[in-house]
Amino acid sequence: MAFVHGSKVARAASRVASRSIYTKTVDNYESVLDRFARDRLTAVLRTPTAEAAPKAMAAAIDGGFKIAEFTLTTPGCLDAVADFRGKYDGDVMVGCGTIMCTEDAEAACDAGAEFIITPVLLPEVVTWCAQRNIVCVPGCQTPTELYTAYTLGAPLQKVFPGVAGAVTWVKAVSAALPMLRLNPTSGVDLDNAGEYLSNGAASVGLVAPLFPPDAIANEDWDAIHANATKVVGNAAKAGPFVRKPTGFQLAKL
C-alpha cells in the first residue's frame, strides 16, 4: 500500500515539475497575444525538404512577415524553429504547427516555439497549454468547436479547413460569438486577407498562396518575397486588432 501511495506521490511530483518547466509568465503570454493583434498575419510553412524551409521563410520575413509558423510535417521543423528563434528573436515571433499531442507541444517548446498551433481541436493539448500560459491556436471548423476551444482556454481559434461563405461566415460568427478571436487560414489569399481582417478575423494565416509549391520546387524565393510584400501591404489597411477582455482566465502561477 505504501508503495502505491509513493508511486502516486512520485507521479504527482513529476507532473508538477513538467508544468513548471514549460510554464510561461503572464507577461510573456500577453506579449504573444499582443503580437498577433498587432501584426495579424502568420506565414504558415510546409516544405517537402528541410533545406527549403529556412530559405522560403526568410523570403517571407524579408517581405514583411513578423509571425512565422513552421509545421511538424516539414522535415527538420524543430531545427528551423530553434534557428529562427536565435536569428530573429525579438523581431519575428516563431511558433510551431501541426501539433498533435502534448509530447509534440513539449518538443516544440524545447525548440523555442512561442506559440502552438493544432490542425484540429485536441482538448488535451489546449488544456496543457492553458495550464502553462502558452498560447495555443487549435483548428476548428464549426461554431461549436470554436466555442469549445475558447472554453478550454484557447485565446485564438484557427478556422480550418476553409468554410463555405468564407469572409461572410467569419463576419457572422464573430458577430454572434464576440468572445471568439478567429484566425482563418485555408481560403485566405494575397488579395482577400485584408477583407478577412476587416470583417471579424482577429488574425489570419497564409499557406499555399504565400508559399506556392511550384515556387518552392523551383527555389523561386523572389516570388515568395513578392507575395509577402503584396499581402502585407493589403492587410495593413485593416490596421491592428483591438484586444478586449473575453473572460478567459490565465493559469495561476
What does the alpha-carbon distance between residue 63 and residue 86 come to, in Å, rounded to a whole number?
19
Residue 162: its pLDDT value, please?
75
Considering only CA atoms, give the Rg of the chain: 18
Digit-coded pLDDT (tens) for 155-200: 999 999 877 779 999 999 999 999 999 999 989 999 999 999 999 9
86 burial class (0-12, 13-18, 19+ CB within 10 angstroms)?
exposed
DSSP strands (E only) in the chain: 41-45, 67-71, 93-97, 116-118, 136-140, 157-159, 182-184, 204-206
Q: Is the per-residue pLDDT at 7 higher than 90?
A: no
Digit-coded pLDDT (tens) for 86-138: 999 999 999 999 999 999 999 999 999 999 999 999 999 999 999 999 999 99
Residue 19: its pLDDT value, please?
66
Global pTM value: 0.90
**DSSP-assigned letters across all residues of 209-225:** TTS-HHHHHTT-HHHHH
**Beta pairing partners, 70:** 45, 96
Q: Could you tell me whether strands 93-97 and 204-206 are parallel, antiparallel, or unpaired per DSSP bridges? A: unpaired
**DSSP reduced 3-state for 204:** strand
Q: Is the per-residue pLDDT at 247 higher than 60?
A: no
Residue position matching grid coordinates 469572409: 167
Residue 2: its pLDDT value, please?
46
Answer whether 93's CB lies under 8 Å from 68's CB: yes
What does the alpha-carbon distance between residue 23 and residue 133 come to, in Å, rounded to a whole number?
6
Residue 157 grid cell: 481559434
